[in-house]
Amino acid sequence: MEDARREHREGWGMSSASVTRVVYPTSVDDVQAALKQARDNSWTVAFWGGGRSYGDAALNESNLLLDFSGMNRVIDFDPDSGEVVVEPGVTLVQLERFGLPKGFWPPVVSGTMFTTMGGCISANVHGKNNFKYGPWGDHVVRFTLVLTTGEVLEVDRESHADLFHHVIGGFGLLGVLVSITVKLKRVHSGRLSVLPSLAEDLDEMFRQFERFNDSEFDYVVGWIDAFAGGISLGRGQIHAARYVEENEDPEGKHLVGLEHQQLPDRFFVFIPKSWLWWLARPWAFRWGMQLINSVRFWFMKFAGHHEPRLETHTAFNHLLDFVPNWKWFYTPGGLIQYQFFLPKEVARPIIRQVLELCRSVKLESWLVVMKRHRADDFPLSHAVDGYSFAMDFPVTDKNRGELYRLTERFNELVVEAGGRFYFAKDSVVTSDAWRKSLGDEVVGRFLALKAKYDPDEILGGNLYRRVIKPLKGEVKLLEPKLPELEPAPVPEPEAIPVEEPAAKEELVEAEEPQAEAPPEAEPDSDDAAKTDAGEAS
């Protein structure tokens, strides 16, 4: 492993950044050596998977960052059970491309395909199917963890159960994930059956979500026009999707090949996708976004598209990856995403209040995504039995003060409602709000585990220093106690693999890490589109 080099790293939203020392481990030995180096130099350590956390979760100002792009091999695969062993730097897109031709798909996928398995497990990432399939943690069989002492532990639900339940969702604060075993889901087709529908207001939006929640649908996601007010407040569109039955989509059996899961290269046939963020940029102001949101709603209303249709897994799950570097639309100040999770009993009135608050200060979110979730048995997890609401806001010199005042008000509302926050999206939550949202029992048990496995506080970057470290000494440490909750069952229909499973020798080799061009680059070729698609929430 080369010596640490100084690099500038930004959170994905581009509104948090750090200069940090970076090393690129390629083996467990390298990880152990980096931890020793950090200890010898009194540096703290944080990890960089795909760098897709919006805020500071993967940043570590002036200290050490382990970038896992060089540990991205699939180590083993069992075609009978779908269990796959991967290194932490394996990205979702790698896993999808590995699994689909063999009839398997990741049970949980984030809006972007460029997250890594290390990042997905550490954040306990959810997908649009969270209400039915739970977060990634529900699909982890075991993992190998390197402690700050260099000791290597095999961790599963039975052995080191306390670590299992807190490393998942623990944002790299207890140990380093160096290999992860997860169970993939069998699928019969390269496509999903997708049903779009429209909601004229917030009440209808909730009614539709509840309807899909108790149905055969596996995924549900809502888009909301945050600019609409009055009787149209909360209007938007819902997409529900389900895996197809075994003989329902004979053609889809042949669409598991990678060539069928590519997102198109061009928009309206001739416009290279890499130009899209740049072409849309003149609309990047409040009235422009109001118009775009409005046109989107009315287009959906009048163009119809309300019949079920078949869509590839990639197109449904990673729609915004279609627009390469769409985040540059928000340059120069970048964006923050504020995502909160509310119990179902209180979600509707609080979301109404949030939308009205935004409108009252003329700071409507430019993109709002709503999802349905279920509770899980990971104490630090963000999901509750209820709804999440994710709002993208541009950050500018002019709006910064008002925006942060607004998010403080959101924090209060979420805490009062018994809701949760999500560090993967966060830039603004305070120690106090985070502590209240989880409760002193959960925080006290986590801090006790931290004191046990990382007594010298070697693990922890900007996020840890901003939110968690200030609670040391404030919250009473408690012995780890695991939740009694049994993990909710994951639906697993019987299925026959679509193609002959690959022999072990065919396990995929490391993929080139995604190279990202600087924002000032002019949009040019569609090659750029192929190397880094933009991403979706």
Ligand X SMILES: Cc1cc2nc3c(=O)[nH]c(=O)nc-3n(C[C@H](O)[C@H](O)[C@H](O)COP(=O)(O)OP(=O)(O)OC[C@H]3O[C@@H](n4cnc5c(N)ncnc54)[C@H](O)[C@@H]3O)c2cc1C
Residues engaged in binding ligand X (CB under 6 A): 12, 46-53, 57-58, 68, 88, 110-112, 115-116, 118-120, 122-123, 125-127, 171-172, 176-177, 424, 535-537
> Cβ neighbours of residue 300 under 8 Å, at least 6 residues apart?
196, 198, 237
Q: How far is the CB of 105 from ligand X (least distance, A)?
A: 15
Q: What is the C-alpha to C-alpha distance for residues 325 and 270, in angstroms, rounded to an integer?
A: 19
For residue 506, the SS3 value is helix
Decide whether 72 or 189 has the Cβ nearer to ligand X: 72
Q: Which of 61, 89, 62, 58 is nearest to 73 (CA)?
A: 89
* Burial bucket for residue 29 (CB in 10 Å: 0-12, 13-18, 19+): exposed
CB closer to ligand X out of 102 and 142: 142
Nearer to ligand X, 94 or 249 (CB): 94
Give min distance, CB of 360 to ligand X, in A. 28
Query: CA-to-CA distance for 24 and 7, rounded, in angstroms?
Result: 12
- Least separation, in Å, of the C-beta of 327 and ligand X? 8
Nearest distance, CB of residue 109 and ligand X, angstroms? 8
β-pairing, 309-312 vs 420-421, is unpaired
CA–CA separation, 12 vs 57, rounded Å? 10
Beta strands 219-224 and 236-243 are: antiparallel
Name the residue number minimizing CB distance to ligand X.
Answer: 119
Amino acid at 211: R
Pick 94 or 293: Cβ nearer ligand X: 94
Q: Output 427 or 537, the one with its CB closest to ligand X.
A: 537
Which residues lie closer than 8 Å to 167 by C-beta, 6 or more apart? 121, 122, 143, 145, 155, 174, 175, 177
Smallest gap from Cβ 535 to ligand X, in A, equals 3
**248 neighbors 189 (Cβ within 8 angstroms):** yes
| Least distance from ligand X to the Cβ atom of residue 75, Å | 14
Three-class secondary structure of residue 225 per DSSP: coil
Least CB distance from residue 497 to ligand X, whole Å? 27
Output 118 or 252, the one with its CB closest to ligand X: 118
Q: Which is closer to ligand X, CB of 487 or CB of 501? A: 487
CB nearer to ligand X: give 101 or 169. 169
CB of 122 to ligand X, least distance (A): 3
Q: Residue 119: what are its φ and ψ, rounded to 5°? A: -70, -35
